[in-house]
Amino acid sequence: MAKPGLSAAALPLLLLGSLLSASSVKADAALSAPLNVTIRELEVNSAVVTWEISEGDPVIGFAITQQKKDVRMLRFIQEVNTTTRSCALWDLDEDTEYIVHVQSISMGGSSPPSQPVLFRTPKESEKMASKNPDEVTMEEVGQDAQLRAGELIIIVVVLVMWAGVIALFCRQYDIIKDNEPNNNKDKAKNSSECSTPEHPQGGLLRSNV
């Protein structure tokens, strides 16, 4: 009894399927690992990791693994539907070594991990000592701006109060000045009424003893 075999018409379909599968695997494997992974803005409890991707890679997101050196516990950060090439690392311990890997994510999967990047967070005392005395942070700029705004408001309020006092003084002065002629008339009238009356014939009145 002859063994059942594949028909001639089925062979091209199988060959086409094999080619499609191979091309799909090749496309996923072609996604290269991120390049030039760098740690920037290194602080006591935070840092920023940046990277680059190969031109033409259909990247839709990234994945980052972060772990302390000689510690197995990992932190995994993943974000999709983004074109950003940086990520903030937070809640870091001071004076601690960390290892970071970055992977690119496409519709077909993820790339191989990048080369590991080792960095150490500084101590609080070292960070304060390395700070330039002339360096001004954004927080300090904001505080200075608030202080200056408060001082400006106080100056404006004082000027407005002084202007009100001067205006009130000028108004009172005008009222007093306007009343001076009336006061002079009243004084003159009172003085004339109190003067000694003259005799109709021109002599002074004398009392009879």
Distance CA 122, CA 43 (A): 7
pLDDT of 10:
45
Exposed/middle/buried for residue 111 (C-beta within 10 Å: 0-12, 13-18, 19+): buried
- The encoded tokens of residue 84 equal 């950003």
Tens of pLDDT, residue by residue over 63-100, are 999 999 888 889 999 999 998 999 999 999 999 999 99
Over 60: is that where the pLDDT of 196 sits? no
- Angstrom distances, CA of residue 180 to CA of 127, 154, 169, 174, 183: 75, 39, 17, 10, 5
The residue with greater pLDDT, 185 or 54, is 54
Distance CA 96, CA 37 (A): 19
Distance CA 49, CA 42 (A): 9
Lowest-pLDDT choice from 71-75, 114-118, 185-189, 199-203: 199-203
pLDDT of 110:
92
- The encoded tokens of residue 188 equal 């003159």
Distance CA 102, CA 97 (A): 17
Amino acid (1-letter code) at residue 72 = R
Pairing between strand 35-40 and 74-80? unpaired
Lowest-pLDDT choice from 14-28, 105-119, 185-199: 14-28
DSSP E strands, the chain = 35-40, 47-52, 61-68, 74-80, 86-89, 97-106, 109-110, 117-120
pLDDT of 150:
84
- The encoded tokens of residue 114 equal 């990048």
Measured at the CA of 39, the angle between CA 125 and CA 28, to 5 degrees, comes to 155
Nearest to 61, CA basis, from 103, 97, 29: 103
pLDDT of 5:
47
Q: What is the mean pLDDT of the chain?
A: 77
Tens of pLDDT, residue by residue over 146-170, are 888 888 899 999 999 989 899 888 8
